[in-house]
Amino acid sequence: MNARTTALSALIATRRQNAWSDGVLKEYIARDRLDARDAALASRLCYGVLQNRMLLDFYIAHFLNGKLRELQPVVLDILRLGAFQIVFLDKIPVSAAVNEAVEQCKSYANWRAAGLVNGLLRAMARSRDALPEPPDLATKYSHPQKLVELLEESVGKDAIEPLLKCDNEITPTILHANPLRADAESVFAELEEAGAVLTPHPWLPDCRLAQGTGNLERLDAFRDGRVYVQDPAAHLAALASGVEPGMQMLDACAAPGGKSFAAAMQMRNEGSILSCDIHPHKLTLIEKGAERLGITMLQTRLQNAAEHDPALDGQFDAVIADVPCSGLGVIRKKPDIRYKPLEPLARLPELQRAILENVCRYVKPGGTLVYSTCTVLRRENEAVAEAFLKEHPDLSPETIPAPTGFGLENDGMLTLLPFKHDTDGFFICRMRKHS
């Protein structure tokens, strides 16, 4: 099995099952036993097609004698995959991209479709330097028009194109050293000796931007918990809790556990963390992650963050509510988010507010409450936090402590944008409960 076939299989499965591409692709890479090089190419192809689907369809339609909707879905998948290689990947020979697409048609569709694919992709390749200009930002950056409008309402006219462009870029891998298991310099030196290219993060200590690591799960340093992966924005949200050794912390919507883990390291594994979620299988993942990282002061609980448990009232020095959200700040990690229906997202602020209203009761007097999301929509971020604070005079926003060199002042609310801060799109609000 080669990388192109794996990528096509993942695209087909994602479409048919309406599943998230990251999970499907990981499954298919393992199924096909791809080596590190082919796994990287399969990922680039699958994500690249999803990131540029509307633009690829625009180009395909330009060369097609007929209508896109008349194409067999699998043929369109094959055309998108071939077109992406021709338009975006200069290092892949056109002949290889076209020939593989033709063979895929013979296997997945029919001989007649193979002829259409061959002719269309070769015509596109001949015109690669003179392709038609996309008519709008939505097509150019493959974000549905309604989504573009929704994002622009929050980030503004000047920021919308940089944001859309950044959504289609490759997400950097951010490696953190685990102080509970390793010395940062030693473990990073070990990775560099193994061929990884590591660059110090501009404002997070003991953290590196990584290239050339391949599948992280194959690295000894990852498997034994000496390093872990976390976006700087999520790490900053954990630091915003202000936890110290010996404190009690609640992570109300904890899965997949990254903020709990970062907080545990900040606490030097001293004190207690209660990590809650509504899905049992996600709690199992948190428990396994904590074990790998050597965290022993963390417990999990099946708990709905919007439902009150009187036994938790006033029990915690810090509470993190990283609430369910639209996820529109992590489109570059999950490119298929952009194609999901927008209508259900309008109900999220009600849930987010309900969670805040509940978990604020769990904070001790003098303790901190952190509200965070991985979206850039104001209606889920500032609007929720401001409305909540207006109804809760016993809580006040408080400046979010940031690492040296971060260089971004805040008044207790902070929005991070991928194209500005090279993080996920993220919102953090830190609040202090009055004593």
Q: What amino acid positions are annotated as catalytic residues?
A: 374
On the 0-12 / 13-18 / 19+ scale of CB atoms within 10 A, 376 is buried
Give Rg (Cα) of the chain.
23
Question: Measured between alpha carbons, how far is residue 9 from residues 107, 117, 274, 314, 360 in Å?
Answer: 12, 17, 40, 51, 46
Alpha helices in 295-369 (DSSP H): 348-359
| Structural tokens at position 387 | 């409305």
Measuring CA to CA, how many Å separate 375 from each of 351, 359, 380, 410? Answer: 15, 20, 8, 18
If DSSP codes are grouped into helix, strand and coil, which group holds residue 216?
helix
Q: Using DSSP, state whether 151 is helix, strand or coil.
A: helix
**CA-to-CA distance for 279 and 350, rounded, in angstroms?**
21
Rounded to whole angstroms, how far apart are CA atoms 200 and 205?
A: 8
